[in-house]
Chains A and B, each alone.
Chain A
Amino acid sequence: MLRFLRSLLGLPSNRADFEDRMSEEMRFHIDSFIEDLVRSGLSPQEASRRARIEFGHIDSIKQDCRQARGLQLLDELSRNLRQSARLLSKTPAFTLTAILPLAFCLGANLAIFALLDGVLLRPLPFPDPGRLVLLYKTYPNAGVLRDGASPANLYERRGRIAAFSHIAISHPDAAIVGEPGATVREDILLVSTDFFSTLGVQPIFGRAFQEDEMTYETDRVAILTHDYWTRHFHSDPAAVGRQIRMDGQSRTIVGILPPGFTYLSSKAVIYTPYASAPNERGPAQRHSGRGGELIARLHPSTTIEAAQSQIDAFDASVAHEYAHAAMMAAAGYRTKIVNLHADHVASIRPTLLLLQTGVFFLLLIGSVNLVNLLLVRASARNKELAVRLALGAGRWHIVGEVITETAMLTSLGGLLSLFIAAGAIPLLAALGTEHLPFAHRITFDYHLASIAMLASVLTGFFAGVPVAWLSLRGSVGAALQGETRGGTAGHAAQRLRHGFMVAQIALAFVLLSAAGLLRLSLERVGALSLGFPSDHLLSGHISLPWPAYPQPQMRLTFTENLLTTIANQPGVHAAGIVSNLPLSGNNTQSGVNVVSRPLKPGELPRVPFAYSVGGSYFDAVRVPLLEGRLLDAADSRRPDRVCVVDEIFARHYWPSGGAIGERIFLGPVLKKDTDAFTIVGVVGRVKQTSLSETTSQGSVYLPYGHRADNNFYIVARTAHAPDTLNATLARIVRQIDPDLPINDVRSMETRITESLTSRRAPTLLAAVFAAASLLLASFGTYGVLSYAVSRRRREIGVRVALGAPPNAIRMQFLVLGLRLLLGGTCLGTAGAWAAGLAMQKLLYDLPPLYWPNLAAAASVMLVATLAACLIPSHRAARVSPIAALSG
């Protein structure tokens, strides 16, 4: 490393060579001078004497030359390094005690930083990623904060917003790929023509999609990811032009994407055109959400704010083209533009920042621990330092020495932490980080290792400052005045150590209470119910391909066959289908109008969750019936249109009952009378998006036959553990349609567990950090008290000799420990409050300062501190006066 530094500073790389040449140069000078002097008539002896005198003291000149060449600082650094290494290797126990906890703290920080870096910090892997933005529609007054884009949103704006150089739409989907009998369901992404150019990416073979491929009649083309092409086409460039069978239809491969290309966290392996019909591209479809995602690239000379005002102006100028413009205005309709990367990670951001803060606290505690250890040792070395100062050692020299030593310790810790982090990152994946956005970017690499080393050297520097300060201050002569134990020099050190101790306890207290809050919050959410019994419930996703099932009747027939077969299986109580299963992430909402309550001007329709249900869905899920009747399999075949609503929807319109017999329309506007659905029942509320969902606009359930979605979930209530039926379910589906796979087969309990991952993982990590911080703080308290006892052995000995009872001495040290605890806890309570405030977004139904939690944290701290005080105070009480005074 020294050689590297030398070359960096332009210094001679070979030190011995440098010295030899310097000597040779000066010898030449003196010899030449002597020759000249002899020539002028002096005797050789006299000439030699004169030359040496006039040249001056050769060693000090050499030293001046070295300094002039910039070598002196490096010399000092390498001397300090050697000396530190010698000191540290002489006391291996101390060195290990100092390094190991620090390595753990640094390693934990590094592992969490790997998350932060991969998810939040590293820019998107596209050229000039800061210019990529996302556009979404929002209707805040109607309770719809975010709605997907429709083809109209793309085609109406393309080329008409000056701030955008490119604009494109994408929509995640899935397709059944392969030859009959050997089909696999693959994730695909439907994209418009400019999608790849918006991202700044081009296919390595073939081409991107063209405008004439964007209709339902002409979209039989596909672009493969590099990985898919490698696995299925053996990296053969001739794959372009070949056919691939998707959803029973042939598509021509027109392009291959560059290696490593992924769109955000998409797992899509095949890209196909985002087709639409001409009537879908006009104003009438502007406010229909087809679940697309609209992205754009900003012109280099513009900003998000400028683009936002352009889109606002554009939306205003075309608003009148939409038939119900006033209703949209009342709903607060607006198109928002946000940074693509920031938006993609927005939901996980607070959790990651919280974790990083928590683990940084742990590092602070670890550093304080190290400082306290070093302070104890520095006090013991006071005398040596005082002697050196008195003999003229430079102050900066001593500061340099101390800081070199701490930095060396922390660098060793840093080196060790690399292994800890490399081991911890896969563990994090087990905790659920693999479900995070950009999970594939969370890795341990060179970049991370260099950050770790930099951080460890910095830690050493900051830890060294108080130690150096004490070394100088403590040694100003006081140490030389004979009594080193309990001398005035020791007081500053003691105050400093106690101060750090209080800080350490406070930090540990904050971590403990934060972990406690997260745990309480997790427990409270975990105790909530979805609104139906979630045990013994199996579900799986089926997506019927459009080409094979174009008619609603065909889809209905398929589901009826399927459900009859499943219901006849032994161990199945009831089976049904539902278009958007709770917690599946598929949360379709639909505007609803009530026939007897026409909207007043400016009034907005309700936007409840809309479900299509078939078979015995309600029997399978066991949603409680509150009024009227449930829907059953026969309702799908009956001509009269009936529906069921939930209590939230019913209570909104008919607070005192009477929902049964009322008629509603789906969609924001009134339609033909024959399109209305008659309410035949009211059921209990079911939580759709998460266990902790608080607000809802209600739910409306329609018979599948009247709204036959091609995407749906099978739900079966089972007699035994639901997972035992996984294989049966897949087999039955294949029996009815050999091309059709079933996906996402999971029990409801598993879905609940997975939905809590975003709460459980941080809670677990916080618990680990809190436990580690508690351990470190107890360790620190023990160290400080032990040292206090050993330093005051003589004083204790005198007091015991004069008749002080051992209990009084024991109490004295226990009280010292408790005083430190009290100080730390008071300070920590303020910190816990701040942490609670910062965590509000992540907590469920908990105030920032929750007293029972604080009390629990305080009692844990109390037990830990008492345990840490016990041994030192016991040792103090057993000091023998004779040994202490003679020692």
Chain B
Amino acid sequence: MKRAFPWHIAVFLAPAFLIYTVFSALPLLDTLRLGFFTTYDSGHQTFVGLANYIKLLTDPDWSAGFWNAMHNNIKFFLIVMFVQNPIALLLAALLSMHGVRGAKGYQTLIFLPTLLSVVIIGFIWQLILSPLWGVSEKLMGFVGLADWFQPWLGDESSALITLSLISVWQFVGVPMMLIYASLIAIPDEIIEAARIEGASSWHIFWTIRLPLILPTLGLVTILTFVGNFNAFDLIYAVKGAIAGPNYSTDLLGTFFYRTFFGYQSQIGSPTMGAAVATTMFLIILSGVGVYFYFIQRKLQRFAF
């Protein structure tokens, strides 16, 4: 007996499949293809092999900007990674202790900034750190540090660090919630057993709870990585496409935007833009690859 074509399956799948394919998967593939082409002034595009990538990595006109953005992006990622996630771990560990009153309330409020637009957050901090308004200076004055105040966002040496700390401030709630969820999922018996053996809370945290939540810390790391190597909104809102002062806050996202759309005297190029996007794609993909093939696999073996 021949079975009829399962039309219902096709109907269930087709709309999602089509929209995803046409507006996400194919454009991504097409971007990878475009990276091998060059655009002439006439708008005509020709295949040039790896020329765009060689230009991006070695031509002084391009490579200086690219490596600067790359370097800044790594710095941005490292600051967020090693400031945001330890704070998140501390907050989550405190929240998950037994009998902390108002834990739900703290969670709800600390999570709030993550829901606001990065653009809005950027502007808010720009105002707060503005020497014109003087709010930060005044606040620092309360603890006798008024003289330490600097216009951090305007200074080449501190702008990137300030922006990454703003990002930490906004998004610490996400890793906090993820870590909290995995901490409260640890069965009480394990902790109780250790306590009966006479282990201190400090000891229990480092030798039992922390190892058990390593998979979540891995997840938090990869989420931070993907989010940061694709960041754009915060820099664009606070510093514009030029990512000043003197490109000191330029990330791959803003570099990609300028390459694609052009700025000042330079004309934008879709094919060079595609090459930058492809490079970002490869960076993100390798991060995700490392996560899945090494960290995730190893940790799972460890957890069971």
Partners in one complex: no
